[in-house]
Structure 1
Amino acid sequence: MADIPASLRYGLAGLALVLAGIGVQQAARVPPVKDIEVRIRDLPEQFEGYTLLQLTDMHISRLFDEAWARTLVQRSNALGVDLILITGDLIDGPLSARVRDVAPLRELHAADGVYVIPGNHEYFFDNEQWMRHFVTLGMRRLDNSHALVERAGAQLVIAGVTDLSAPRAGLPGPDLHKALAGVPAGAPIILLDHQPRNARQAAAQGVALQLSGHTHGGMIRPLAPIIARANEGFVAGFYRVGGMQLYVNNGTALWPGFALRLGVPSELTRITLRRAVEPG
């Protein structure tokens, strides 16, 4: 270091501080809206323009606290979407410590409801207790199960599975066959799966769209290839997996133990469904 000019050392230190400040600010903010469109083959015309809001990896905690959650809920409700889908890792901490911080989620609302699946962090803090609490907040849980959304006689399947970490907690792991048992033939299937690693199996089961989180988009852009290798090649954004589309969300927040983002922004993800135009 003695051979490096003092001005350069101070400049590098200043740059590091600026980047750290930007990274923390990007991590801790309530994110802006990200609008995306998904074109689905055989989407009933009654669901043309149907809107979803995906929330994921909120990690409500001392960092992402009651005030943060209240602002998030206000911004989410203002979007006026048809359906809200929460794809896991809502919390970090036991219910006794976080009950006040998650309370604003009770005000989340959409015309066709709010659905939730667990992420791996729910299993760190008594998954069943947390999932029961989410139900008291007005959410409908999807544990290897599905629900039907109906519009003028047409149906859309919303399915959800448990997390890959569940067996380590002595609880049932993801079971897509069970989740899809009895779904009506021809109805498009939207699958909620916290981790994207099983996307190829979902595609083989006829899922039209899988929504996942877990990766936080890699958090820092140079880390993305490393995170992708741990998640079967999936880290952020859209992927075509056989006949299925997979969307891996950067996350609404992230794990407070590494609260840093650079070049990988958090997002409030509003998804508009469109009918795919058949070629020819």
Structure 2
Amino acid sequence: MLQVLLDLGTLVAVLVQRRGVTLPNDVRYSAAGLSVILAAVGVANAIRVPPIKDLEVTVRNLPAKFDGYQLLQLTDLHISRLFPERWARAVVERANGSGVDLIVATGDFIDGSVAMRRIDVAPLHDLRAPDGVYAIPGNHEYFFDYEAWMRHLAGLGLRMLPNAHTILSRDDARLVLAGVTDLSAPAKGHPGPDLAAALAGAPRNVPILLLDHQPKEAGRAAANGVGVQLSGHTHGGMIVGLDRLVARGNNGYVSGRYDVGGMTLYVSNGTALWPGFALRLGRPPELTRITLRAQL
């Protein structure tokens, strides 16, 4: 890209000056050196075990007994040859040491079949939190035998919420944790995200926390009374500048916190990212520890 930019700049200079322009070799060598440095930094940022990022979220009508409740969001682990068993185990150890009440995973666990990734995903079996570990599929689960992966992830102890919900309790106080399937599901012959089905039978007037891999339908969730939506999918845009392009494909949601019709949407940069574009510059990976707060 740097070389192309240099060529474009030279072309503009030729057109403006209407004569030949020679670009010194030192400039090209410098661009090549800079690209190597940026690539090395970008890959190092992409494959590291991410730090914990702390975030407080105020929730409408949150019961006092849930004030201070903590959950950890994992998303876009993309466990693969680039993010193998050793990396997954380090992530699990950091997650278990976070001291949260609940762990949630918002999809894109893998790249590869169960047979290919069985050893690499095995550390997920050791994820632990007092209120359990809940998860939803991302689009990549549909690329590699969805049914097989749902069975295998459930067998590792992850409680899957595909268009379903559960109730979290603190004595008589309750919180609805719901999940939906991915927008890519219908193209693979599976049910698409159905918030009505996910909330069927849920108690009324109870705050809803929604897990949805892709953030683009956040407006619909807000219109249906969801208090907080946790998403991933975008990897934060991976590189400053490129994130603006990624945002366009996700209704403007790419990284961080958004207020969507009174609902808080949080889009994580991702625990990892797709191995086919393993670069991060200015958009670091994260393990997101979220503290719920009641409105004063």
TM-score between both structures, scaled by the size of structure 2 = 0.92
Counterpart AA for 2:69: Y
Instruction: For residue 50 of structure 1, report the CA deviation from its aligned partner.
Output: 0.5
What is the Cα deviation at residue 7 of structure 1?
A: 2.9
2:165 matches 1:146: yes
CA distance in 1, matches of 2:72, 2:101: 8
Q: Confirm or deny that 1:249 pairs with 2:268.
A: yes
Give, in whole Å, the separation in 2 of the partners of 1:7 and 1:165: 48
Please state if 1:83 is matched with 2:119: no
Matched, 1:107 2:126: yes
- 2: CA distance between counterparts of 1:184 and 1:171? 27
Task: State the partner residue of 1:55.
Answer: 74
1:225 aligned onto 2:247:
no
Q: Which has the larger radius of gyration?
A: 2
Q: Tell me if 1:23 matches 2:45.
A: no
Cα distance per residue 1:222-248 (max 9 Å; x no partner): 111111111111111111111211001
Q: 1:131 corresponds to which residue?
A: 150
For residue 219 of structure 1, what is the amino acid of its counterpart?
M
Matches within 5 A, 1:1-280: 3-277=22-296
Partners of 2:270 and 2:285 in 1: CA distance: 5
C-alpha separation between the residues in 2 aligned to 1:162 and 1:6? 53
Q: How far, CA to CA, are the matches of 1:78 and 1:246 in structure 2? A: 25
Counterparts of 1:122 and 1:213, CA distance in 2: 14
CA distance in 1, matches of 2:197, 2:259: 24
Task: Give the letter aligned to residue 219 of structure 2.
Answer: R
RMSD of Structure 2 on Structure 1 (CA): 1.0
Secondary structure of the corresponding residue to residue 196 of structure 1: coil
Q: Deviations over 1:243-270 (max 9, x none)?
A: 2110011000000011011110000100
Tell me how many residue pairs correspond in the alignment.
277
Q: Report deviation, 1:8.
A: 2.6
Shift, 1:28, TM fit: 0.6
Note the alpha carbon deviations across 1:144-188, whole angstroms, 9 max, x for none: 000001001100110000000000110100000000111111211
Aligned-partner Cα distance in 2 for 1:90–1:97: 13
Equivalent position amino acid for 1:41 in 2: R
Helix, strand or coil at the partner of 2:110: coil
What code does the residue aligned with 1:60 have? I
Per the TM alignment, residue 16 of structure 1 is displaced from its structure 2 partner at its CA by: 1.0
The CA deviation string for residues 21-78 of structure 1, in whole angstroms up to 9 with x for no partner, is: 0000011111011100001121101111110000000000000000000000001101
User: Structure 2: which 5+ residue stretches go unaligned?
Assistant: 1-6, 8-20
